[in-house]
Every structure is written in structure tokens, then in C-alpha cells.
């Protein structure tokens, strides 16, 4: 426990350093935006934020390794302590001045996802958690919602904007959820969506195409807040490129049953 808390403290420091940089960074001119893929933008701001994070993590935890969206997205980092980093989750929001973006840092210890920190930059709120240590927003302990009736549920989602070949499947799922739930929201930052599930603001969440750095920290928070996170196939191994379904136990089960049939 003490070791995991130390890693949480390190991740909080690294995320705060990047968040301070992002809070004062001006979105670059659109001519400086680069597209990694369809509608998937990256700027020097993303790269600089990740460099700050990687420098802090490896300095404070010598021998640890970092895999992240901008510096090493195709590298499977190895080691006892592996950081999984998204330096700016919600880049498009940031570029347009829409205040919904975050720094996300997960940590895999001995092959097990064990630590998660999400720093909501615009609101300056820090979500943090560790295995068997609970999930927190600052000093407030988080717990998933108690809503069990889908008709009362507020559900978060994300669009498959990078893969339009998945759009038809997604729209069938969206139609099914819209017909059953009280509302759906898509704010553009999966990390903050997952933090909202952990905090009980969203009752459930799903997305078809996410990367490990999008979800690593949020998965820890939800599980420590009493929720469930799996792939659409029901696997607990979500540190892959693919689907994520999350929620309190009742509504996670509801989504897991509803979505494949859609």
C-alpha cells in the first residue's frame, strides 16, 4: 500500500506539472495542427506536455518506463513499473477552447494496472486512486452511482471519429441506448468520462475504439469506486486498442447485454 501511495504521489506531481503548462498554453494556429489520422490532431503542446510528464516520472522513479500517446505509442514498455500516459486527453477540445480536457496517467506495477491519476485541467480537480486504496477527487472519496434502472441512467459515450467504418455499428448501439436511457452525453475526453463514472455523475459509459492511454487511469478509479470495466466482450483486460464498457455493476451488466444485440 505504501509503495502504491508513493506512485500515486509521483503521478499527481507529474500530472500537475503538465496541467500547469497546459493551463497557460495557448492553442496553436490551426496551420500548426498535425493529423496523426482522420480527425486525430496533435500539436507541439501535446508533445511538450508528455515530455514534462516523462521527465518527472522517470526522475522520481528511476528505472520506470513510460509509454504514451505522443512519444512511444507503438512501444510496449517493459519493466516492473510502467507508466501509461495521455498528456492531453481531449486535444480537439483544447484546440477550440472547450474546457473539457485532462492529463491522464496510469501505472502498471508488476504487470497489474494499479494506479490512476486524472488531472482535469480546466477545473483544476485531481482524481486519484490505487488498488485497495479507493478512488478520490482531492480529499473526497468517490463511489459509483446507485442508479439501477436504465430509464433513469445518464450514459457517457464517445464517437468512432477515427474509424468511420465502425459508425454504422455504433449508431445501432446509440439508438438502442437512447431508447432505453434517460440521456446520453459525449464531451470528448474519455479520461474525464471515466472519472465521471467513478464519481457517480455518469451511471455508465461505452466506446468502441479507445487506446490504453485513454483508459488506464480511469479504469483504476472506477474499479476502486465500486464499478466494473470490461471490453464489449466482457474481458477485464482493457489495456488494448478496442472497446470499453463501464458503469456501476447493474448498469454495466445492462450495457453489456444490450450493446451486442444492437
* Confidence at residue 189, expressed as pLDDT on a 0 to 100 scale: 98
- As a three-state string, the secondary structure of 69-124 is CCCCCCCCCCCCEEEEEEEEECHHHHHCCCCCCEEEEEEEECCEEEEEEEEECCCC
The stretch 237-254 carries a mean pLDDT of: 96
Predicted confidence (pLDDT) per residue in 96-154, tens digit: 999 999 999 999 999 999 999 999 999 999 999 999 999 999 999 999 999 999 999 99
2-141 against 150-261: fold identical: no
* Confidence at residue 165, expressed as pLDDT on a 0 to 100 scale: 87
Residue ranges of the domains in the chain? 2-141, 150-261
In CATH terms, is domain 2-141 a member of 3.90.1150.10?
A: no
* Confidence at residue 233, expressed as pLDDT on a 0 to 100 scale: 97
The stretch 168-191 carries a mean pLDDT of: 97
Predicted confidence (pLDDT) per residue in 48-97, tens digit: 999 999 999 999 999 999 998 766 554 456 789 999 999 999 999 999 99
CATH of domain 150-261: 3.40.190.80
Query: How many CA atoms does the CB half-sphere of 196 hold within 13 Å?
Result: 23
Separation of alpha carbons 256 and 152, rounded Å = 17
Average pLDDT across the chain, whole number: 92
Percent of the chain surpassing pLDDT 90:
82
Amino acid at each position: 500500500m505504501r509503495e502504491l501511495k508513493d506512485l500515486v504521489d509521483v503521478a499527481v506531481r507529474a500530472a500537475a506539472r503538465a496541467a500547469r503548462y497546459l493551463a497557460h498554453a495557448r492553442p496553436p494556429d490551426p496551420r500548426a495542427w498535425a493529423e496523426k489520422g482522420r480527425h486525430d490532431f496533435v500539436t507541439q503542446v501535446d508533445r511538450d506536455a508528455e515530455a514534462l510528464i516523462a521527465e518527472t516520472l522517470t526522475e522520481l522513479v528511476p528505472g520506470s518506463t513510460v509509454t504514451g500517446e505522443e512519444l512511444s505509442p507503438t512501444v510496449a514498455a517493459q519493466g516492473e513499473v510502467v507508466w501509461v500516459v495521455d498528456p492531453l486527453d481531449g486535444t480537439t477540445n483544447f484546440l477550440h477552447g472547450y474546457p473539457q480536457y485532462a492529463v491522464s496517467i496510469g501505472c502498471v506495477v508488476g504487470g497489474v494496472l494499479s494506479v490512476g491519476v486524472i488531472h482535469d485541467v480546466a477545473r483544476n480537480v485531481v482524481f486519484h486512486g490505487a488498488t485497495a486504496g479507493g478512488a478520490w477527487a482531492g480529499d473526497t472519496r468517490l463511489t459509483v452511482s446507485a442508479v439501477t434502472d436504465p430509464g433513469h441512467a445518464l450514459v457517457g459515450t464517445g464517437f468512432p471519429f477515427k474509424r468511420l467504418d465502425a459508425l454504422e455499428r455504433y449508431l445501432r448501439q446509440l439508438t438502442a441506448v437512447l431508447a432505453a436511457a434517460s440521456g446520453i452525453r459525449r464531451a470528448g475526453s474519455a479520461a474525464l468520462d471515466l472519472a465521471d463514472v467513478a464519481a457517480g455523475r455518469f451511471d455508465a459509459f461505452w466506446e468502441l475504439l479507445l487506446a490504453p492511454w485513454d483508459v488506464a487511469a480511469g479504469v483504476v478509479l472506477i474499479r476502486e469506486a465500486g464499478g466494473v470495466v470490461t471490453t464489449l466482450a466482457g474481458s477485464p483486460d482493457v489495456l488494448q486498442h478496442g472497446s470499453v464498457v463501464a458503469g456501476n455493476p447493474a448498469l454495466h451488466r445492462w450495457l453489456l447485454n444490450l450493446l451486442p444485440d444492437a
